[in-house]
Structure 1
Amino acid sequence: MKRLIAWISDLRVAIGLLIVIAACSGLGTLVPQKESAELYHRVFDAEPWLGLFNGEQILALQLDHVYSSSWFLALLAWLGLALILCSWRRQWPALQAALRWIDYQTPRQLSKLTLAETVVCDDPSARLQRLDALLAAKGWQLQRHPDRLSARRGVSGRVGPLLVHAGLVVLMVGAAWGSLGGQRLERYLAPGNELELLNSRGESQVTVTLKRFGVERDPAGRPEQFRSLLRLDPGSAAQAETHEISVNHPLRYRGMTLYQADWSLAAVQVQLGKSPILELPLQSFPQLGEQVWGIVLPTRPDGSNPVLLALSSEQGPITVYSADAEVLGSLIPGAEATEIEGIPLKVAGVIPASGILLKRDPGVPLVYGGFGIALLGGALSLIATRQLWAIAEPSAQKLHVGGLCNRNLTALALELPGLLAAVG
């Protein structure tokens, strides 16, 4: 068991785990996450990912939800266990050792230290007292004995590695909790439509209503920004709030985050001859292009001779195709009617839909807290722990001084002569 614990807590194993987890995290950016099974079969069955994995294999290996997959969470648990064991076996004993005072009692012991100097003087005891006062004024901690002293500074730096490990463990717990207990919902809303969100008990938590949605385009007609004006009603009209979200500007509300994720076309308003304006739903036609929507309309009372209205923007144009895929004409929203297959056809307008992504991640406070703890530990780790000992030898008229430092030993080596000169 001891050998197993030693192997798990080995630094090389922890570094290897970090590399593996980083590589696996990259898979989540390369493979679409949490999509429908049909999408993975449609995209990867014809062209396997990396030439190796088709849709069925991606689903079997849980690559469709990497960050919440059992094997990824197992890697996080392994790394967390390695950090805990390393802290317990190495960092905690090192901190305890740093907090214990070391009392060197003979000049011979000081001579073996990395930094050691001997000063010949008439009154070593008086010089030792002046060194004591000088170190105390500079903020050193002191432990005094007759004719000798021990001093240290920067012991808080020894807490740093322990805090870094603790922060990483808290961060991974938060990430795992968010993956297992978080929620993700993506819906398309047309202006005027609403979405009711329920809590874990099935009770209404908030109603999200899309009041306005707009697509900002560049002069070439390409989408640049999407903006949605949302009304959030938690059940009381007095508490209802109105907020705007856009790409890269999400809204955080009662533990949820609402993102402007996508857009689509919801419906088209058409008029056939002298009929009332009809609002007809559009559907996606991926076989015609990545962002192409359309609707099939019959041109005869018996439903025969259908035509397809296809468009890729709420601004138009709308291309009309016959059943034989021939272009019959082009319509502009808001323009006058155009005769198609003997029927005047007018498009009064196109209604876009906002793609809103809602996320609830209960692990976010732990993730941010873990980052904060790890950053604090990293900052403390930069503090050098300095130790200094001095022994007065009146019979030989000598003052022996020695020192150690866990990092930046050169700075202590440069400071030591200055201290001795200041008390001389």
Structure 2
Amino acid sequence: MNTAAPSLGRWGQFGRLLAWISDLRVAIGLLLVIAIASGIGTLVPQKEDGALYHRVFDGKPWLGLLNGDAILRLQLDHVYSSSWFLALLAWLGLALILCSWRRQWPALQAALRWIDYRSPRQLSKLTLAETLESPDPRAELTALQTLLAVRGWQLQPAEGRLAARKGVLGRVGPLLVHTGLVVLMVGAAWGALAGQRLERYLAPGRELELLSRRGDSQLTVALADFRVERDPAGRPEQFRSQLELSDGKGASLGAYEISVNHPLRFRGLTMYQADWSLAAIGVQLGKSPILELPLQPFPQLGEQVWGIVLPTRPDGSEPVLLTASNEQGPITVYSAEAQVIGSLSPGGPAVDIQGLPLRVASVLPASGLLLKRDPGVPLVYAGFAIALAGGSLSLVATRQLWAVAEPERGRLHVGGLCNRNLTAFARELPQLLAELRSTPQQG
């Protein structure tokens, strides 16, 4: 007995631990923490280069507390794939599984078992109970059985008594909700751990080669054309990219168009039209051939401003800055003293800039492509579907009814229970009995 007591104590502690993990209050707390973490993931830029967090948050810490080092150390730069966020999902999933195992599954099993009330005294203790005076209780019991069968109730008749139920499927709802949430979290964790994400800017005529984990070419994405559709005021309304796909051997896999809110899904890979930029500018200096030069962003001049510094003398002196905010122009020219000294139009004539004829032949826009491979998406969708189905079934009220005939006293005793919307069932039961009493009179 001395050796058994510590063992029983350990099992008791383990049982208390399981009860605490599956406690509803703990699950609600976890949901709140996960919701707050998801909000942080929305507010803090995700999966950017580490230098960006130092540049943005070192001078002005986030919430006045977290600088770039703290954000990187706490894994706030990749919240949804961080170890602590995945641990929260695992904890919540375990809590739901334990709750389903300890509570929902036994509740479903209990709901599927028929309860046989044999005496009027048992029925009198139910939430809803009625007693009908009847010259022939057994005949009325048979009539009640027929009436309930017509209305779709499940029946279990016995000698002198009847058990009936309706809406038992609603008891499956909570279990399905838990199952759906667990499947959803498994899909989210799988996508975070095994998913791939790549964001690139491509200019027309350029291509992007996607490699497998072993370094083999899997897919080549070439940008055939890119268009920015603008409103009459010149504001961007839609971006469209014409893509040409080919396999690792160069065989064509077809041409496709993507635009904002209209991605392409191909062999488990989703390609989004995410953004746009200016890639290059074609300039002609004097009588030189047209030079295609890359543009770079200048955030200090505006949110969407690209530019390039060009020398105007053979020795590299007297440079000028050419800037543009869209592919249509105009191209603004700044001197080394940051003074505006000219304006050029793409495809327009040359303009004298500090004694040098300068012409802009074209401005080449680039398409911002976001490529994502998320193997957990089917599970996430399946989890949503299961949870929604379970939530819908949870709205179905489970009603139970029992009747016992007492011929020696000329009485029919009827009682009922309902797990939700008891008020509606309390109105339905007298109507049911009134219809039962009117049936023989009509016959």
- 1:55 aligned partner: 68
Q: Does 1:394 align with 2:407?
A: yes
Q: 1:232 Cα deviation (Å)?
A: 1.8
Moved more, 75-84 or 317-326: 317-326
Within 5 Å, give how 1:287-306 maps onto structure 2.
287-306=300-319
Runs of 4+ in 1 over 4 A off after TM superposition: 235-239
Which residue in 2 is equivalent to 1:86?
Answer: 99
CA 1:370 to 1:145, structure 2 compared with 1: closer, same or farther past 3 Å?
same
Secondary structure (helix, strand or coil) at the match of 1:315 reads coil
Provide the residue aligned with 2:368 in structure 1: 355
Given candidates 366, 373, 386, the residue that maps to 1:373 is 386
Q: Which residue of 1 is the match for residue 6 of structure 2?
A: none
SS at match of 1:423: helix
User: In structure 1, what is the equivalent of residue 10 of structure 2?
Assistant: none
In structure 2, C-alpha distance between the alignment counterparts of 1:420 and 1:213, rounded to whole Å:
73
CA distance in 2, matches of 1:287, 1:130: 86
User: 1:381-404 CA deviation, whole Å, 9 max, x = no partner?
Assistant: 111111111111111111111111
Where does residue 44 of structure 1 map in the other structure? 57
Pair 1:140-2:153 in alignment: yes
Q: Please list the CA deviations of residues 240-286 of structure 1 after superposition, one character each: whole Å capped at 9, or x if unmatched.
A: 32222222222222211111111111111111111111111112222
| TM-score of the superposed pair, with normalisation by structure 1 | 0.96
Quote how far apart the aligned CAs of 1:73 are.
0.8
Name structure 2 gaps, 5 residues minimum: 1-13, 438-443
- Residues 1:234 and 2:247 aligned together: yes
Could you tell me which of 189, 193, 197 is aligned with 1:176?
Answer: 189
Name the structure 2 match of 1:6: 19
Deviation of 1:309 (Å): 1.7
> 1:268 — aligned with what?
281
Partner secondary structure for residue 293 of structure 2: strand
1:70 aligns with 2:86: no
Paired residue total? 424
Q: Distance in 2 between matches of 1:285 and 1:411?
A: 67
**Matched position secondary structure for 2:300:** coil
SS in 2 for 1:400: strand
Given residue 250 of structure 1, which amino acid in structure 2 is its aligned partner? Answer: P
- SS of residue paired to 2:182: helix
Matching residue of 1:100: 113
- Equivalent residue number for residue 285 of structure 1: 298
Counterpart CA distance in 2 for 1:49 and 1:37 is 15
Which whole-Å CA distance do the structure 1 matches of 2:197 and 2:250 have between them?
Answer: 26
**Greater shift in the superposed pair: 128-137 or 352-361:** 128-137
Q: How far does residue 124 in structure 1 lie from its aligned partner after superposition?
A: 1.0
Question: RMSD value over aligned CA atoms?
Answer: 1.6
Partner of 1:31: 44
Which of 314, 319, 322 lines up with 2:332 in the alignment? 319
Query: What pairs with 1:240-259 in structure 2 (closer than 5 Å)?
Result: 240-259=253-272
Distance in 1 separating the partners of 2:339 and 2:301: 14
The equivalent of 2:230 in structure 1 is: 217
Alpha-carbon distance in 2 for matches of 1:396, 1:344: 116
- CA-to-aligned-CA distance 1:325-346 (integer Å, 9 cap, x gap): 3333221111111112222111
Q: Does 2:419 correspond to 1:406?
A: yes
Q: Which amino acid aligns with 1:333?
A: P
CA distance in 1, matches of 2:301, 2:420: 65
Residues in 1 aligned to 2:358 and 2:435: alpha-carbon distance in whole angstroms = 98
Please report how far the alpha carbon of residue 319 of structure 1 lies from its aligned counterpart in structure 2 after TM superposition. Answer: 2.0
- Which aligned pairs between 1:124-139 and structure 2 lie closer than 5 A? 124-139=137-152
Question: Counterpart of 1:33 in structure 2: which amino acid?
Answer: Q
CA positional deviation for 1:239? 5.2
After the TM superposition, which of the residue ranges 219-228 and 268-277 deviates more from structure 2?
219-228
1:228 partner letter: S
Q: Deviations over 1:131-166 (max 9, x none)?
A: 112212222111121111111111111010000000
Residue 109 of structure 1, CA deviation: 0.6
* Amino acid paired to 2:51: E
2:345 corresponds to 1:332: yes
Q: Deviations over 1:178-214 (max 9, x none)?
A: 1111111001100011111223343322211111111
Q: Give the Cα–Cα distance (whole angstroms) in 1 for the partners of residues 294 and 431 of structure 2.
A: 84
* Alignment partners' CA distance in 2, 1:145 and 1:201: 70
When structure 1 is superposed on structure 2, of 310-319 and 395-404 the one drifting more is 310-319
Q: Secondary structure at the residue paired with 1:105?
A: coil
Deviates more, 1:135-144 or 1:287-296: 287-296
- Could you tell me which amino acid in structure 1 is paired with residue 404 of structure 2? I
Distance 1:406 1:140 in 2: 16
- Give the match for residue 20 of structure 1: 33
Deviation per CA, 1:54-78, whole angstroms, max 9, x where unpaired?
1111111111111111111111111
**Secondary structure, counterpart of 1:303 in structure 2:** coil
| CA deviation string 1:284-335 (max 9, x = no partner) | 2223332222222222223333222222221222222233333332211111
Counterparts of 1:416 and 1:267, CA distance in 2: 78
Deviation at 1:236, TM superposition (A): 7.3
Aligned AA for 1:409?
L
AA partner of residue 361 (structure 2): A
Query: Which range is displaced more, 185-194 or 413-422?
Result: 413-422
2:166 aligned residue: 153
Which amino acid is the alignment partner of residue 205 of structure 2? Answer: G
Query: What is the aligned partner in structure 2 of residue 190 from structure 1?
Result: 203
- Show the counterpart of 2:5: none
- How many Å apart are 1:39 and its aligned residue? 0.7
Which stretch shows the higher mean deviation, 43-52 or 285-294? 285-294
